[in-house]
C-alpha cells in the first residue's frame, strides 16, 4: 500500500506496508501513517506543498514510546536527518512552518541552556533549506512561570522568554508557481497574520492526551496563509493529529506520520470528532 498524493488516495494493493496506513478517509485526502518518518517510504518525493510540524523538543518530555532527553549533540544529529528527508519530499516551491522553542531550558541541567532556534536554523540551511522569515508565537503563559534561578540576586538569574518560534523555510523558491490554486484567507486574517508576532494560548495537555500538543490555531494560520485549497500538507511528527484536523476543516489534503500507535489512535479519534471527516462526507 502506497500513499499517492498525486492520485489523492491510498491504493488497495496488498503488501507488507498495509499495516502502516493507520487511518485514511475514503477519498484518501487525509492519511495517518504509523511509521518512523526517517525510514518511511510511503510518501513520494517532490509531492508535498507545505510542511507544518513541531518535532520533539528534547526537553525531557515523557512520550509513550521514548524519552525526549537525548544528549544535545545527538538531538542535532536527529534534526539534520529529518530535515534532509523532509526537504526531499517537498515540491520545488514547497514550504515549511517549523515550530520550535527559542531555547532549551528544561532537562539535562548539566548541559545548561541551549540555543535551539539558532542551532536548528543553522542545520536547516546547511542541508539545503532556504530561510524566509520567523514568526514569534507569544503563548501568553508568563503567569505560569516558576523558574527564576537566583531569586532577587545577580548570582545566577534566569532570563526566560515565554515564546516559541515558527521558522518559515522553503526548498527552491518562495513564490508558488506550480499548481497555483485558490486562497481562502480573509482580508482581516491576512493583515493580522502577516504581522510576525502571533498571540494565542497553547493547548491543554490533559484535554488532548499528548504531552506536547500545539493548539489548532497554529496549523490553521500556517495552512491558510501559506497554502492553497486542495494543497497537500505534511506533518512528519503528527502527535495528537492537530495538523490533520486543520487540513480536514480547511479543505486540504493531509498526511501525518507518527511513530507511536497510541498517538495515531488519538489522532484518528480527534479527526472523527473534531475534524468531522465522516460528517463532512455525509453532507456532500
Query: pTM for this structure?
Result: 0.85
Q: Looking up cell 518518518, which residue turns up?
A: 37
Give me 157's grid cell.
538569574
pLDDT on residue 144:
64
| Cα separation, 101 vs 160, whole angstroms | 11
The per-residue pLDDT for range 219-255, each reduced to its tens digit, is 999 999 999 999 999 999 999 999 999 999 999 999 9
Return the percentage of the chain with pLDDT > 70, whole number: 78
Q: Where are the domains of the chain?
A: 3-283
The residue ranking higher by pLDDT, 161 or 77, is: 77
| Cα separation, 248 vs 231, whole angstroms | 12
Q: How confident is the model at residue 111 (pLDDT cuts 50, 70, 90)?
A: low
The yes-or-no verdict on residue 41 having pLDDT over 80 is yes
The DSSP secondary structure of 126-171, one letter per residue, reads HHT-EEEEEEEEE---GGG----BSTTSSSSB-----EEEEEEEES
The per-residue pLDDT for range 50-83, each reduced to its tens digit, is 999 999 865 444 434 445 567 888 889 999 999 9
Fold adopted by 3-283: Rossmann fold (3.40.50)
Q: What angle do CA 137, 139, 142 make, to 5 degrees?
A: 130
User: Whole-number mean pLDDT of the chain?
Assistant: 84
Give which of 27, 94, 49 is closest to 248, Cα–Cα. 27
Q: How confident is the model at residue 145 (pLDDT cuts 50, 70, 90)?
A: low
pLDDT on residue 242:
95
Amino acid at each position: 500500500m502506497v500513499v499517492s498524493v498525486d492520485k489523492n488516495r491510498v491504493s488497495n494493493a496488498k503488501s507488507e506496508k498495509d499495516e502502516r496506513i493507520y487511518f485514511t478517509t475514503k477519498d484518501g485526502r487525509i492519511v495517518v501513517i504509523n511509521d518512523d518518518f526517517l525510514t518511511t517510504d510511503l510518501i513520494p518525493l517532490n509531492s508535498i506543498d507545505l510542511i507544518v510540524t513541531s518535532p520533539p523538543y528534547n526537553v525531557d518530555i515523557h512520550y509513550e514510546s521514548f524519552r525526549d532527553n537525548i544528549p544535545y549533540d545527538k538531538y542535532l544529529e536527529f534534526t539534520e536527518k529529518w530535515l534532509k528527508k523532509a526537504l526531499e519530499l517537498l515540491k520545488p516551491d514547497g514550504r515549511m512552518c517549523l515550530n520550535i522553542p527559542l531555547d532549551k531550558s528544561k532537562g539535562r541541567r548539566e548541559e545548561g541552556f541551549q540555543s535551539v532556534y539558532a542551532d536548528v536554523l543553522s542545520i536547516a540551511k546547511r542541508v539545503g533549506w532556504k530561510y524566509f522569515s520567523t514568526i514569534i508565537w507569544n503563548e501568553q503563559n508568563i503567569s505560569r512561570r516558576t523558574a527564576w534561578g537566583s531569586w532577587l540576586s545577580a548570582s545566577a538569574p534566569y532570563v526566560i522568554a515565554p515564546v516559541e518560534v515558527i521558522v518559515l523555510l522553503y526548498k527552491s523558491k518562495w513564490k508558488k508557481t506550480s499548481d497555483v490554486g485558490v486562497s481562502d484567507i480573509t482580508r482581516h486574517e491576512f493583515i493580522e497574520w502577516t504581522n510576525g508576532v502571533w498571540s494565542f494560548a497553547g493547548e491543554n495537555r490533559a484535554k488532548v492526551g499528548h504531552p506536547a500538543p500545539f493548539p489548532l490555531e497554529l496549523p490553521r494560520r500556517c495552512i491558510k496563509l501559506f497554502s492553497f485549497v486542495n494543497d497537500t500538507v505534511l506533518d512528519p511528527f503528527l502527535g495528537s493529529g492537530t495538523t490533520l484536523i486543520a487540513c480536514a476543516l480547511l479543505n486540504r489534503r493531509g498526511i501525518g506520520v507518527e511513530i507511536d500507535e497510541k498517538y495515531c489512535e488519538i489522532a484518528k479519534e480527534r479527526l472523527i470528532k473534531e475534524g468531522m471527516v465522516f460528517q463532512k462526507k455525509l453532507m456532500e
